[in-house]
Amino acid sequence: MKGLFGLFAQSPWKPLNQHMQKSYECVGLVRPITEAFLDGKTEEVERLFKTVTRVEHEADLIKDQIRDQMPKSLFMSVDRRDFLVLLASQDAIPDLVEDLGMLYMIRPHTKLPDELRSPFNDLLDATLRVVDWTKKVLEELDTLVEASFSGSPREQALQAIDEAGKLEHEADVAAYRFARMLYQHEELMSPLDIIMLSKIERTLSSLANAAERVCKQLRLIVAK
C-alpha cells in the first residue's frame, strides 16, 4: 500500500481513484446479495456478506491512509478540505452496501410478497443506476484534472452531474412507490417483515442519495 501514496507526489486524484475502484467493487455485490436474500439462499447471503465486509474494510484502509499521509502543504488543483469531503462522500457508498448486507444477515428469512417484487426490483434498479452513473462521472476525473477543471471537460462533467440528480429523483420516486405498496399489502406480512423491508428500502434510498452527494461535492469543486 505504501507505493500507492507515493502517487501524491504526482496527483492526489490517483489514490482517490484507487478508493473509488474498491468502493465500486463493493457496489458490484449489491445485486447478487439482494437476489440471494430474496430467494432465501441463506448460505449464499452469508458468503457474499463476508466478501462485502472484507472489501468495505479494504476501502476504509485506503481512505484512512489517504487522510493520514496527505501532506497539509500539498500543492493541489483543488482545496484540500474539498478533496477530503469528496473522499468522505465516496466512502459512504461502501459503508451503506455493508449496512444493506447486515440487514440481510439479521433476518435472512424476511418474506417479500410476490405483489411487491416488481416495485422492489424497480427500486433496486433505480438505486444502482444512480450509483453506476456516479462511477462513470468519477472515471472522467483524470480528463477533468488534466483540463484544469475548465473547457469542454468541465461542461461535460456538469451535464453528467445534472443527470445524476435526475436519476436520484427517479430512485426517490421508486422508493416512495415501494413504501406505499408495502403498507397497502401489510396484511400479507408479519410486523417484523414490514419493519425489515422498510429498513431495506431506506438503506437503498440512502445509497442513491450518497451517490448523488458525491456528484454534488464534485460540482462544488468544478464550479470554483
With residue 183 as reference, give the H or E element that holds it: helix 151-184
* Within-domain flag for 6: no
Name the domain count of the chain.
1
Q: Which three cell numbers stand for residue 114?
A: 410476490
* Within-domain flag for 22: yes
* Within-domain flag for 132: yes
With CA atoms as reference, report the closest residue to 196 among 136, 126, 110: 110
* Within-domain flag for 1: no
What is the predicted pLDDT for the residue at 9?
46
Cα 27 from Cα 35, distance rounded (Å): 14
What is the predicted pLDDT for the residue at 72?
67
Cα 138 from Cα 144, distance rounded (Å): 10
* Within-domain flag for 214: yes
Q: Which three cell numbers stand for residue 12?
A: 492526489
Residue 224: is it exposed, middle or buried by C-beta count within 10 angstroms (0-12/13-18/19+)? exposed
* Within-domain flag for 3: no
Question: For residue 108, what is the domain's CATH number?
Answer: 1.20.58.220
What is the predicted pLDDT for the residue at 177?
98
* Within-domain flag for 138: yes
Cell 440528480 locates to 165
* Within-domain flag for 2: no
What is the predicted pLDDT for the residue at 11?
65
Residue 70: domain span: 11-223
What is the predicted pLDDT for the residue at 51?
98
List the end-to-end C-alpha distance of the chain, in Å, as a whole number. Answer: 32
Q: Mean pLDDT in each 10-residue stretch from start to end of the chain (224 residues)?
A: 46 86 97 97 98 98 88 66 94 98 95 96 98 93 80 90 96 98 96 97 98 95 82
pTM confidence score: 0.91
Please check whether residue 24 is in contact with residue 135, taking contact to mean a CB–CB distance below 8 angstroms.
Answer: yes
